[in-house]
Structure 1
Amino acid sequence: MPIIKDAISDVLGIEPDWNWSEHLQQASFRGVPFGVISGESVFGRRQAIHEYAYRDQSWIEDMGRSNRRITIKGFLIQDSLVYDAPDVITQRDNLVAACEVGEAGTLVHPTLGEMTVSVTESGLRVSENAESGRVFEFELVVIESGLKVFAITGSEKTGELTFGQWLKEAAHTTLKTIAMIKGEVRSVTQMMKTLKQTADFWVNMVSSSVDEVTNLSNSLNSVFGSNKYGRYQKGSAGGAVSGATGKRIHQGDTDDREIIDKTLNQAIIDRQRLDKTLSAVSDAETPEDVIAQIQRVFVILITMDGDTGQKMRILNTLSRFRNLEYQQTEQDKRIAALTEMMLVVLAASALSVVAGQSDPTNSTESAGYQREVCESLDDAMTITGDLALDDIYLTLLNRREQVVIFFTDKGSERGRLSSYALPSVLPSLNVANRLYQDATRSDELVMETQPRHPAFMPVRFKALKK
């Protein structure tokens, strides 16, 4: 018989001398110990059941792991031989107080170990009677708790990508740059010369890059929507739809001429403001004035009218700025490096703010925007890391995480897409009706697949799941 038992143990992977009772842990909640009579745990997945008319089978949508619900039937006993505790009434009061704390706590389960849990409503039921005497029985129901993390919806924008947050970070970066530049000063005249050389080189770069945004076609490209004015329009006037998420924007356009005139006038005003501010950068006579005017340039680039994609290209170009001027002394090299760092950090963070204003038309565009912004932030983090500016580095790292979250919601993750194969070339209306039983979603298909013509959809493509 021992030979047979050993053979079974080898097959099942069980040690013959393993005793389950020796592996039980002393149960407690928030440090209050107790004995356990029995326990019950509920595990599984959250499923959304979608039932459709005239279909025999339902579509089951997986929504992640369900909450782990733990039920423990235990007891509190006075003069316990297993755990040290005061009288049973004090134990009960301690357990009640632990269950009424308004936040998650640590539960030590006999077999599951330590878990962070929250007590449900009426989750603790204590039973007392004369027959039990110094033993109080109870039932505790808890749910495993996690971090306070919320899904990002289409109506939300992460706090790190707002213009107000950028202003705070820009102020911190510029003030620190000024302080560090002044700390390197041995000659004020030489310091201003090095600073102005770098700034003038950067001004020329801005001037040569910004023309694309303020021309006629690009200014109007981000105004009118794709529903009424064609799939190549990326604005919202007249309505728009995203092929990456399927979200629709409904916005009227009662007076096209008024919208066009207002947009073109604003584009002219923005360009005049930008030229004036760039001249002020070149004319500034103190480090504070130079850096303040540079910050105003970025404010104009963020807030000016124009196609969001074109503005992102300009800021992406500026985020790759490098000072190629040869510096003779170590002091000049340090000042030039600090100035370059400030310009790159401001451009990369401004790029993320403008990206937060975008609404990609398809998953390819969304993934491209995410990659572009993350690469710029990575370059900025490399520069700040080389200069040992840990606080600015951590700020950029946090901003990068928020960019990934934002574009994931905008459709950069391809997991929500499915591959489709058609028997022949069909119009988009026919395909939308076949896939979604809704011909009005044809615009969504066109935006995602980008066919040569909506009447000739490709035979193989990827689009949103049903």
Structure 2
Amino acid sequence: MNIGGGAGAVLSTTSGIANLASSLASRLGGTAQSYFDQLRPASFRGVSFVSLGGESSFGRRKQLHEYPQRDVPWVEDLGRGTRRIRLYAFVIGDDVIAQRDTMIAACETSGGGDLIHPSLGKRTVSLMDFRSIERWDAGRYFEFQFEFIEGGPRTYPSAAAATAQGVTNASTVLNVAAAASFAKQALGAIEYGAAIVGIVVSASLGWYTYAKNIVGDARNLFQLLFNLPGDFGRFGGSATVPTFSQSPSSSVSSSATTESLIEAATAARAAVDTASATLAAAAANLGSTTVDAYTAAVQGVVTAVLGATNDPDDSIRLLTTLSGYAPSTQTTSSTIGTAMGDMQVACGDLFRRTTIASIASASSTYQPTSSDDATRVRDLLTDLIDAEMTVAGDEGDDETYEALSALREAVVADLNQRGAGLPAIKTFSFAAPMNALALATRLYRDPTRADELIAQANPAHPAFMPTSFKALAD
């Protein structure tokens, strides 16, 4: 390519090019200036030059996979390909040597730089090759050839602990330990006959009846509304989303209908009934060979209750209530009566520990609304776990104690990590009542967060917010 000849033609026939552009523009529509007005003065790292033209390559990175006895290969897409930009340019004038030296200094500077391309605009690039061409018959004129690669900042893979998965794993370990502990106590007590089985049946009946009752909790049923499209005002909002203002009812499109939600809730309650019936049958048939079936049935009831709740916050609340259930059948001080009491305690331990494991699993899917909320849930769970660790320690149940300790550590790590980046709750006070839009603009510079403030402050009317209330600090 004779770049010098091209440059001379450009410099000597400017008016001809303009006339040609006008002619083409009149034939194709538009004005002659519409294209040239879009071009930008070329430069690299702030050093200007005149662009003669160039070429660029774009596309995707592909890996071709060819297989024996297969006519059509498989082409694997590996992402966007490297963008390569090649430019041909020149500088001219009595100070052309100084211009060249300035460009050489810019090209020899380490790191990436900003390229202003006449048609591509500003790009962050790395210079791969630069050439300066001089000719004896072209005084006061140097040609440049650039080859750039468009690049980005240097990044490294980031590692983060899978704290939610750690909670799930620790919950599984606790379930195993709780089942093993129950089996140890049950195998010795079952030898005393039908009275022991009767205690198990009675304890199981009271527990799963209580579980079925809490599933019908009014607040839990109200959570079904969050899956309906529409705006529920101050009643919108859920703990499954990061902020109060992002309620599923208003920000998540849904095709749910009232009928489909009723059907889903009915199916969930039916699953609890089925799991309860399974537990009743396992309790009635409890024996030395069916202990595992009984502990699995207990875990099945808790799993069904967890599946019947529509919000992790409700799951934690309802299961916490369930964990407080304690069998209370009267027993005697005789040998069989003592065995009956021991079995009743073993059932209570199994119920609590299985429920605590499910509460921890629910906490791993709970999205705190603030750092204070994360602390609240963390403290709630650690209090439950600490109390159960005391029980396991007093009973000398080392395996369960260690499982509870591991679960406590996993829960604290998970909620501390997910709550660390959230804003805290702060008390705001004002001299006079203001409307929610004005307060949202004043506090957050975002009037769309008015619904968040309404949900937090719960005013009698959004136009007259309380003079003091708690809300997110930022």
Shorter-normalised TM-score: what interval?
Answer: 0.5 to 0.7
CA distance in 1, matches of 2:417, 2:292: 40
Question: Partner of 1:25 in structure 2?
Answer: none
Question: Partner of 2:449 in structure 1?
Answer: 441
2:304 to 278, 293, 300: 300
CA distance in 1, matches of 2:251, 2:387: 38
SS of alignment partner, residue 234 of structure 2: coil
Greater share of residues in helix: 2
The correspondence of residues 315-394 of structure 1 with structure 2, limited to 5 A, is 315-328=319-332, 329-360=337-368, 368-394=376-402
Q: Deviations over 1:66-110 (max 9, x none)?
A: xxxxxxxxxxxxxxxxxxxxxxxxxxxxxxxxxxxxxxxxxxxxx
After TM superposition, give the deviation of residue 274 of structure 1 in Å. Answer: 1.2
How many aligned residue pairs are there? 306
Matched letter for residue 275 of structure 2: T
Q: 1:435 to 1:252 in 2, by over 3 A?
A: closer
Matched letter for residue 202 of structure 1: W
Matched letter for residue 345 of structure 1: R
Q: Is the 8 A contact 2:210 2:322 kept in 1?
A: yes
CA distance in 2, matches of 1:255, 1:232: 20
SS of alignment partner, residue 186 of structure 1: helix
SS of alignment partner, residue 461 of structure 1: strand
Q: Deviations over 1:395-454 (max 9, x none)?
A: 223323443444456669998344433232111221222223222333333344333333
Residue 198 (structure 2) pairs with residue 193 (structure 1): yes
Q: Is the 8 A contact 2:309 2:315 kept in 1?
A: no
CA distance in 2, matches of 1:369, 1:409: 13
The correspondence of residues 278-297 of structure 1 with structure 2, limited to 5 A, is 278-284=276-282, 285-286=285-286, 287-297=291-301
CA distance in 2, matches of 1:232, 1:248: 9
CA distance in 1, matches of 2:391, 2:262: 38
Matched letter for residue 314 of structure 1: L
Matched letter for residue 447 of structure 2: A
CA distance in 1, matches of 2:389, 2:259: 41
Matched letter for residue 196 of structure 1: V
The correspondence of residues 155-234 of structure 1 with structure 2, limited to 5 A, is 158-162=164-168, 165-212=170-217, 217-223=221-227, 228-234=231-237
After TM superposition, give the deviation of residue 275 of structure 1 in Å. Answer: 0.9
Q: Is the 8 A contact 2:436 2:464 kept in 1?
A: yes
The correspondence of residues 263-278 of structure 1 with structure 2, limited to 5 A, is 263-278=261-276
After TM superposition, give the deviation of residue 353 of structure 1 in Å. Answer: 1.9
The correspondence of residues 228-243 of structure 1 with structure 2, limited to 5 A, is 228-235=231-238, 242-243=243-244
After TM superposition, give the deviation of residue 290 of structure 1 in Å. Answer: 2.5
Q: 1:165 to 1:228 in 2, by over 3 A?
A: farther
CA distance in 2, matches of 1:248, 1:306: 14
Q: Is the 8 A contact 2:239 2:367 kept in 1?
A: no
Q: Deviations over 1:297-332 (max 9, x none)?
A: 111112234344443333112211212112333322
Matched letter for residue 164 of structure 2: T
After TM superposition, give the deviation of residue 341 of structure 1 in Å. Answer: 0.7
Query: Percent of pairs identical after alignment?
Result: 20
SS of alignment partner, residue 356 of structure 2: helix
The correspondence of residues 60-139 of structure 1 with structure 2, limited to 5 A, is none
Matched letter for residue 387 of structure 1: E
After TM superposition, give the deviation of residue 236 of structure 1 in Å. Answer: 8.9
Name whichever of 280-289 and 356-365 sits farther off: 356-365
After TM superposition, give the deviation of residue 185 of structure 1 in Å. Answer: 4.2
Question: Partner of 2:154 in structure 1?
Answer: none
SS of alignment partner, residue 469 of structure 2: strand
Unmatched segments (≥5 aa) in structure 1: 1-148
Q: Is the 8 A contact 1:200 1:282 kept in 2?
A: yes
CA distance in 2, matches of 1:364, 1:457: 23
Larger Rg: 2
Q: Is the 8 A contact 1:320 1:376 kept in 2?
A: no
Q: Is the 8 A contact 1:223 1:234 kept in 2?
A: no
SS of alignment partner, residue 235 of structure 2: coil
CA distance in 1, matches of 2:470, 2:304: 38
After TM superposition, give the deviation of residue 219 of structure 1 in Å. Answer: 4.6
TM-score normalised by the chain length of structure 2: 0.55
Matched letter for residue 379 of structure 1: A
Q: Deviations over 1:264-301 (max 9, x none)?
A: 21211111121122122222202333322111111111
Q: 1:447 to 1:289 in 2, by over 3 A?
A: same
TM-score normalised by the chain length of structure 1: 0.56
CA distance in 2, matches of 1:190, 1:235: 47
| Pairwise CA RMSD | 3.6
